[in-house]
Amino acid sequence: MLENGKIGVRQFTILVFLFTIGGIILIIPSILASEAKQDAWISAILALGIGVLVIPLYRALGSRFPDMSLVEYSEGILGKWLGKTISLLFCSYFFVNAALTLRSIGEFMTTQIMPETPIQAIFIIFLGIVIMGTRIGLEPLSRAAEIFFPCVIFLFLLLALSLLPQIKIENIQPMLEEGIKPLFRAVIPYIGSTFLELVVFLMFVPYNNRIQNIGKALWIGTLMGGIMLTIISLLTILVIGADMTESQVYPSYVLAKKINVGNFLTRIEVMMAIIWFLTIFFKLTVFLYATALSLAQTLKLKAYRFLTLPLGMILVVFTLVLNPNLIYIKTFNKDILIYYSLTYGLFFPLLLLGVAVIRKKRESGSEKEI
């Protein structure tokens, strides 16, 4: 194996949780409110209910090939050339998602915190840390996630409790004012940018010390992340209203600015920023790690670590070319990302599982005839 580390079920669960909320926690209320208005929190619940339906598919693939990663059994199922083609496509999918994640980091920093800093500098500095996290391997990365997990939970609870005095119930009324169609329209980009991306964790199945609990880890991690995103969406609507949520690029960050407890505890949006920095670091690291590992396994290389620096350098340039501005990113996320994610997060896994089942039945039939 290119990766010799092993992680536990709890560590895997925490990685899934941090990955689920990484990056999207700042923008998900705006995405949902743009279609569902004050019913954005209902759309969040619907998206969670629909999104977790892909987990049995991923669990079935992982349990059928417990000693192989996604790209390794793609070649075994579909044959050498078609399998390698699918593996390289998965590699490109992870890389493109890494670029989208990196761009969101640069946009947030240059618009909210460091407006005079060139976005390229933000990319290089943050990516340097991510490359270090990728090179040290999966086991130390998972341990780091385990250490930072309580910090994320504590800051989120502090944020939610501090906002309770600002809640206005009338902001979510009237419910279902425009019917249920807007609710499902809001669900589509949410699923594409969150739940279908969990296919990346099929790259890490062989490195778990309890393969039989992979499905449970995916379920718990995804549900925890989905519940947190639902709560953030609900709080945003309740505190700043649907119109302001829709108009803001980072409504969760604006939400944190509204905290005012006794005119003493105010403007502590740094809590939301810390949650975002920690979770998006793990999301970007997982994508870059999967890119390097999948490329090394597809090309039958002896190591993946030497690929991380070249991939990081390419990623900086690719991010600028792929995402020229914020408007383009919002259009891509709203209109294109769902089809892109459905291809890799649903269609290809279904294809692999279907072919694997058919081949096994044929082999069993041939053995019986003999």
Q: In this structure, how many other beta carbons lie within 10 angstroms of the beta carbon of residue 358?
A: 11
Share of the chain above pLDDT 70, in %: 95
Cα distance between residue 270 and residue 155, in whole Å: 10
Average pLDDT over residues 293-321: 90
Q: How far apart are CA 109 and CA 273, in angstroms?
A: 10
pLDDT digits (tens, 9 = 90+) for 38-47: 888 999 999 9
Which residue's structure tokens are 């041939």?
A: 366
Is the Cβ–Cβ distance between 193 and 24 less than 8 Å? yes
Alpha-carbon distance of 121 to 99, in angstroms, equals 15
Q: Which residues pair with 261 in a beta bridge?
A: 265
Q: Is the pLDDT of residue 331 over 90?
A: no
* Residue 189, pLDDT above cutoff 60: yes
pTM score, whole prediction: 0.93
| Per-residue model confidence as pLDDT tens digits over 161-181 | 888 888 888 888 888 888 888
pLDDT at 160: 87
Query: Under a CB-based contact definition with an 8 Å cutoff, are residues 189 and 36 in contact?
Result: no
Residue 368: pLDDT above 70? no
The token duo for 10 is: 């709890």
Inform me whether the pLDDT recorded for 365 exceeds 80. no
Beta bridge partners of 7: 208
Mean pLDDT of 25-46: 88
Residue 200 has what pLDDT? 93
In percent, how much of the chain has pLDDT > 90?
38
262 confidence band (pLDDT: 50, 70, 90):
low
For 243, which DSSP code? H
Distance (Å, whole) CA 324 – CA 23? 18
Which of 35-44, 73-82, 323-332 is predicted least confidently? 323-332
Helix axis angle, 308-322 to 119-135, nearest 10°: 150
Q: Look at residue 88 and tell me whether its pLDDT is greater than 90.
A: yes
**Phi, psi angle pair for 261, to nearest 5°:** -110, 105
Question: What is the distance between the alpha carbons of residues 240 and 130, in angstroms, rounded to a whole number?
Answer: 34
132/135 Cα distance (integer angstroms):
5
| CB half-sphere exposure, 229, CA atoms < 13 A | 39
Alpha-carbon distance 46 to 250, whole Å? 22
